[in-house]
Each structure stands twice: as C-alpha cells, then as structure tokens.
Structure 1
Amino acid sequence: MLKPEDIKYLLNSESKFIHYLPVTSKESQFINEQTIVANRLQSDRNSAQQELADWIRFSTKDAEKYRDGLTTASMEIEGFSGWVVRNFYSKDNVMKKDFRETGLDKIKQEVSESAGWILITNEVNLYNYFRNHSYHHYLSNSKLTTIGKHHVDEMDCNDWCFNHSLPRTCCDLW
C-alpha cells in the first residue's frame, strides 16, 4: 500500500482524472491478472517477439551505432547481468522459450510487488491517443520515476471503466 502522502502527491488536484486502485482492491487484482494475460498473449506471438528482437540493442556497439531501440540500461539490466546480456545475447535469444518465460516471470514479480495501479482517465479517448503518441515522454519527465509502468492495451478499457462506475471515458492503465 502507498502512504497517504504519496497518494495525495499522485492524485494532486486531478482526482477527477487520476484514480489510485490499491493492491487490495478487486480492480487492482483484475488489472494484475489482465497484465499477465496480455503479456503472455504478446510473448506467444512470434511477430511481436520478432519486433521486440529488432528493437533491442544488445551490444554497446549497436546502441551507439543506431541510437534508438531498447538498451540494457533502458531496461534496467545492470551490473553483471547487463554485461552478460550485452556480450552474449542476440536477437535469436528473444525468440527462445526461456527468454519469453523469463519476461513473463518478471511481469508476475512486478505486479505481485506493486502497491496498486494508477488509472488515468480523460474526456478524450486516451486509449487511441496513447496508441498513436508516445506516453513514455510524459512519464520520463515525471517525478514518479520509481513507479512501474505497464500499458495494458489488450483489454477493452472503456467497458472496464463503465463496469466499475468510473467516468464513461476510455482509461489508460499503467
């Protein structure tokens, strides 16, 4: 659970659009489950794994050459683990069963250790907005750098908001 002062900071004066769902709530449990399901569906899709493989810059050389994609630093793979990944992993590893299972295990660990979810709503359709724009820029400029972020786009969030008595707007789940 988050401390009351942290909740107050997160919600600030935007309680109409920002909702905290504590880990003990049924809504939080639902989002936890759906996050795992969505990540499992994605990791089972070879085309999605191939796209991930194409965007990961395993070596320092590739990170410097392309200056885009996901680096070990951006994925917070540091220390000895980062060194191993930078020197011994390649695109081929992403397609392997153990890479997929390790990724799912990490997601399960993250949702099991979370303090809940922040639900951001708006009167515009955020689901479509964030599918077409980068929400990472907003989050990277946020003071909330220690909060884990997962975008759950495998579920119909509009129906979820309606069923949980939240504003009849599309919700973006982090």
Structure 2
Amino acid sequence: MSWSTDDGAHEGAARAVFADGALSGSHGPGDQVTVGIYADGSRAGLDADVRSEDGVVGWRGWCSCGWRSARAFTRVHLRELEDRANKIAYEESAFAPQWVEDEAHAEWLAHIAPDVAASDVATAAREAAEAARRLDLAVLTARAVGASWDAIGRAAGMTRQSAHERWASATAQPKVDRERAAKRKRA
C-alpha cells in the first residue's frame, strides 16, 4: 500500500529492504520481489533486479522525495522473536505486517507535515489575495455609483477616514468616468 499527498508531491510506502540496502519496487508472482531503488538512491529501470522474498531483511518508510525513515524494521522468521518496541517484526512474506505499515505511515505523515502546513499557508494566501481583489473591486463599484466613504467604511468594518485612506487613490477617476458610471446605474 502507498500513500500520497493531495498535490502529488509526496508518495510514501513501507518498502521491503534487502541486505544490501536496496528497497523493493513491486512484488511479482510467487516469491519474487523487484528492486525499485538501489542502496545508492538510484532508481531501478526496466532491467531491475528480481529477487526472492527470502532476501528481504526488513522494511523501511520511504517517500518519493528521497526521505527514508531513520530506522528500518527488522524481519524475523520466528514469531517468538517479534519485538514491536524495537521494530522487530515477524512476517513470512515480503509484505510488511499491518503494524509496520501503520508505524511507517505515521513516520511518513510526520515527514510531510511541514510541506502540508506550508501548502495550507499557500492556499490561504491565494484565497486572501482573491478576497482582497474582490473587496477592492466592490469598493470601486460602490464609489462609482455614489456610495459615501462613511457607508463603505461601515461595510468594511473600519472608519470613514480609514476607508478613504485605503482606497481613495484607487477610486480616483476622471469626472467624466464617474458621470458615465452613474448614468449606467440609472439605466
């Protein structure tokens, strides 16, 4: 199973780890596991190694941005040796047990948290800029049809003077344009 951020910038998974540090790519038929990423960080291509799942020594949290969990989970072949507190997991197959998936996912969520928070800031900033643009346009329209600075200030939650200081230069237009706007309103 893999996880992805809404913007697609991060895709994470609990990947099988081989003794040489390579990470799994996909699980094939039978007990075959392909290498997805080599220990040096290079990605395997179409000619990726196909290995036996017997070579899987554990699992590690992974992200497409290059992040790896600090510590891998170790795979053991005897249930009695499993020790969750020390990240030692019993599993017969190369697929990570559910508790390993859950812990790797939690580590991945902590890894992406700053990017998700920054993305939320960017979204809020875009929305604030759009709201400011709509407010400026509303003030221009209100002034064009004759609204007073007092009425605009009250509507915007500020004083007449503050409204005038904020938007007066943006609403200054030649007298002819004001007269045309007033005529359009009457029409």
Is the structural similarity TM-score above 0.5?
A: no
Q: TM-score, normalised by structure 1?
A: 0.23
Q: Which has the higher contact order (CA 8 A, sep 6+)?
A: 1
Higher strand proportion (structure 1 or 2): 2
Q: TM-score, normalised by structure 2?
A: 0.22
Q: Which structure has the larger Rg over C-alpha atoms?
A: 2
Higher helix proportion (structure 1 or 2): 1
